[in-house]
Amino acid sequence: MAPSLQLAREYKTITENPPPYIIAHPSESNILEWHYILTGPEDTPYHGGQYWGTLTFPPNYPFAPPAIRMHTPSGRFQPSSRLCLSISDFHPKSFNPAWEVSTILIGLLSFMTSNEMTTGSVAGSPSERKFYASRSRWWNSTGGGSHSNPKQKGNLKAGDGGAKFRSQWPELDKENWEWIRKNNIDPDTGYRSAGAASSSGSGCGSSCGPAIPGIAAAGSGGQTQAVVDRVVQQRDAGQGLLSKNKFYIAGAMVLVYLLLVRLYGDI
């Protein structure tokens, strides 16, 4: 069977009976390029995450495996890098022609939630992976914050402003932007804007971090300056406290001195 017919049949199958946590479809312009979304399963650090990636099939599929990439940062894989798996093009001899797109994506999800390492994977703590999960929807639809100044349209690594994701997943992109607005997420940074309610239910979790008094959410440069200003304020406040109580402090020191003189005089 020709690859196009095989993949058309598999698209029908995966659409009618999608595996849990997985959706996928071929590109309209190239049936050999598929786009998938993995949703982080419960009881994993990826819970709630929206992980977008691509499968690039060879012309002789299903007798050779696809190249597998995950574009969304996850703390598990290097973004947009080819993954070395038994179901990927790194190991064509181990690929079984009976495996379908759903089989490949189920295998990818299974590997993602394990602790095995391979080419293209990275080591990360559960807290780091939860952090990436909380920012995944923002990253997909803004191109990692490059939406206001895309460096090159269609170039994921350069920052395409979310153009590629939007072209493949328009409905999800719309939902993501509604989520960003509803939860007061700054599109440029991926963090909640100043004044956002802590109980907004945004799923931001640990990525928001504890609030620092007197510091509003800002870009890295502004936040650094705000931290410096806060430290200066605290230092000046400490100096003011000493200045206001200098007479009491001096009196206490004199009293201690007299007590020491009397003690040593008695000895």
CATH of the domain at 78: 3.10.110.10
Question: Exactly one of 31, 64, 67, 84 is catalytic; which is it?
Answer: 84
Q: Does residue 210 lie within any of the structural domains?
A: no
At position 88, the amino acid (one-letter code) is S
Q: Do 9 and 83 fall within a single domain?
A: yes
Give the per-residue pLDDT at 114: 96
Average pLDDT, the chain: 82
- Final residue belonging to a domain, choices 58, 81, 112: 112
Classified as helix, coil or strand, 171 is helix
Q: Do 182 and 236 fall within a single domain?
A: no
Contact of 53 with 70, CB cutoff 8 Å = yes
Q: Do 158 and 107 fall within a single domain?
A: no
For the entire predicted model, the pTM comes to: 0.73
Residue 202 CA to residue 212 CA, distance in Å, equals 19
Q: Do 21 and 102 fall within a single domain?
A: yes
| Average of per-residue pLDDT across 88-99 | 95
- Final residue belonging to a domain, choices 67, 87, 112: 112
- Final residue belonging to a domain, choices 87, 112, 137: 112
At how many degrees (to 10) do helices 220-244 and 246-266 cross? 50
Q: Does residue 209 lie within any of the structural domains?
A: no
Q: Does residue 213 lie within any of the structural domains?
A: no
Residue 53 CA to residue 66 CA, distance in Å, equals 12
Classified as helix, coil or strand, 196 is coil
Band of pLDDT at residue 213, cut at 50, 70 and 90: very low
Q: Per residue in 119-145, is it b (16+ CB within 10 Å) or e — as a string?
A: ebbeebeeebbbbbbbbbbbbbbbbbb
| Average of per-residue pLDDT across 197-209 | 40
175: containing domain: 126-193
Question: Is residue 219 pLDDT above 70, yes or no?
Answer: no
| Total domains present in the chain | 3
Q: Is 204 in the active site?
A: no
Question: Is residue 194 pLDDT above 60, yes or no?
Answer: yes
> What residue ranges in the chain does DSSP mark as E strands?
22-26, 33-39, 50-56, 67-70
Give the per-residue pLDDT at 157: 67
Contact of 59 with 32, CB cutoff 8 Å = yes
Q: What are the two backbone dihedrals, phi and then psi, of residue 161, each rounded to the nearest 5 degrees?
A: 70, 15
Q: Do 61 and 105 fall within a single domain?
A: yes
What one-character DSSP code corresponds to residue 185?
B
